Amino acid sequence: MINYSYSGTSRYNKVSSLFGKPWTKTTLPNPMINISPPKPHGIARLKNAFGYSIKGLQLAWQHEEAFRLEIYILLFSIPLAGLIGKNITDYVLLIGSLLFLIIIELVNSAIEAICDKISIANDELVGRSKDFGAAAVFVAIIGMVGTWMVILTKNWL
């Protein structure tokens, strides 16, 4: 983006400057260009990503009651899955459905945090976004319960 400006003070000077007075050409910063320092690569990048992931889990634990509840359910269900499942496939499906629920809960929490940051007022689109996130968690719960019921009935009934 280029901005042409003139250092003169009167309107006449600005108009007459079209015919020979010096206009100065200034370049405005482009908001689409990232001028932040370069990000690390390789092992340093993985180390940073791991730290951000741990921080995200800590923040979810501190601020999200549903996340804490789902972690408790996961910890209770790991040994239960060992009893219900007859083979490694059953065990992976049982635990995987719980991990999927936790992933969806984290995404829902991120959506809610962004929506709360963007708008404090009751906005229709913000409400819709939060409802979509809640619906995703609900569908994940249905999938988890369905997985557990199918494997339970297949192996024990």
Catalytic machinery residues? 105
Task: Report the Cα–Cα distance between both ends of the chain, in Å, rounded.
Answer: 71
> Is residue 8 within 8 Å of 21, Cβ to Cβ?
yes
What amino acid is encoded at 19 in this protein?
F
> Is residue 110 within 8 Å of 60, Cβ to Cβ?
no
Close Cβ partners of 73 (under 8 Å, ≥ 6 residues apart): 98
Cα separation, 143 vs 3, whole angstroms: 57
